[in-house]
Amino acid sequence: MSVNSFKFMPRTLAESLKVWPYVDTSGEEIPWTRPVKPVGESKVALVSSGGLYHRDDVPFDLDRERREPLWGDPSFREIPRGISQQDIRAAHLHYENSHALKDYNCMLPLAALEELLADGRVGSISEYHLTFMGYQPRLGTFIRETAPRMAERLLEMDVDLVLLSSG
Amino acid sequence: MGLAQRGMEERGLVTISLTNMPFVTEKIGVPRAVAVEFPFGMIWGRPGESQMHQDILARMLEAVEAIDAPGTIIELPYTWPEEDFRKRDWFPSEPTPWLASQEGINEMLEFLQHGDPLE
């Protein structure tokens, strides 16, 4: 792989990610769902780990992370389709949030998705998109509770195709 | 991110992720991914760069149709402009808590050596 985004990080962080105790999935097969619909007929949702939330919603808990630096808020939030820029807030202590506060599409490209819908490149767009805060060294709660709930929520909205991005 | 993606795919959703850390994505193993060399916080491109956001999204949709084996990561040919690199404006203005004190760094070192990510 030639993509190397370590160059954007302070050295201590880059070195830590190289020796990070990632969850060992080597003994399991990678899951695979064969698409039954063409992309142009699929209902699409976005999922971002960039810590965005609606200003009327509960923020991700950064104060606890400031007190306990190896804890990260494991919950998720919903962002309605068509949310305005002024209704977006961002809470992530590992990203510079000001960019998303100028234009949230740099983390959650809802405007681009609307353009592709207008061009017939996707079938429809989910009513809500999901966000969480991706810094979670201890993933227990996220894996056992949050991830299954997110999947459930997407299925409830009849989503076919999920586009995830890390911030 | 990768583990959430695996969980969604297991439930019957078709998933693809945009990563800037294919090194990590490859380790976790996800059904489909595309990679860009962009910083965290602007992984779809700079604020206001709507054409870039749209290009990446369109490439992801193409990748969904092209990828036929789980674990495939397609690198996209976008790089962060050299003149922008000097701005270094992707660093968080508030220092990351674990990096902000020796105590936090020690706690992280302990986690890196003996921590259980599933705790």
Question: How does pLDDT run across B7-47, given as a tens digit for each residue?
Answer: 999 999 999 999 999 999 999 999 999 999 999 999 999 99
- A42-46, A155-159, B67-71, B94-98: the lowest-pLDDT one: B94-98
What distance in Å separates residue B41's CA from the closest CA in chain A? Answer: 5
Mean pLDDT within B70-77: 97
Q: Please say whether the beta carbons of A147 and B7 come within 8 A.
A: yes
Question: Hey, which residues 80-109 in chain B have their CB within 8 Å of chain A?
Answer: 80, 89-94, 96-101, 104-105, 107-108
Quote the pLDDT of residue A156. 98
Alpha carbon A61 to its chain's center: 16
Quote the pLDDT of residue A121. 98
Write out pLDDT tens, residues A86-138. Answer: 999 999 999 999 999 999 999 999 999 999 999 999 999 999 999 999 999 99
Q: What is the 3-state secondary structure (H, E, C) of A94-131?
A: CCCCHHHHHCHHHCCCHHHHHHHHHCCCCCEECCEEEE
| Alpha carbon distance B112, B25 (integer Å) | 18
Residue B65 has pLDDT above 80, yes or no: yes
Put simply, the answer to whether B4 touches A93 (Cβ < 8 Å) is no
Q: At what angle do helices A110-118 and B50-66 cross, to 10 degrees?
A: 70
Q: What is the mean pLDDT of chain A?
A: 95
| Alpha carbon distance A56, B75 (integer Å) | 37
Q: At what angle do helices B102-114 and A11-18 cross, to 10 degrees?
A: 20
Put simply, the answer to whether A161 touches B118 (Cβ < 8 Å) is no
Quote the pLDDT of residue A48. 98
Residue A1 has pLDDT above 70, yes or no: no
Residue A28 has pLDDT above 70, yes or no: yes
Q: What is the pTM of this model?
A: 0.96
Quote the pLDDT of residue B88. 85
CB of A112 within 8 Å of a chain B CB? The answer is: yes
CA atoms within 13 A on the CB side of A132: 25
Return the exposure string of B28-66: e unless at least 16 CB atoms fall within 10 Å of the residue's CB, then b: bbbbbbbbbbbbbbbbbbbbebbebbbbbbebbbebbee
Residue A37 has pLDDT above 90, yes or no: yes
Show the tokens assigned to B5: 């993606």
Quote the pLDDT of residue B39. 94
Put simply, the answer to whether B117 touches A1 (Cβ < 8 Å) is no
What distance in Å separates residue A165's CA from the closest CA in chain B? Answer: 5
Instruction: Please list every residue in chain B whose beta carbon sits closer than 8 Å to the beta carbon of residue A49.
Output: 1, 4
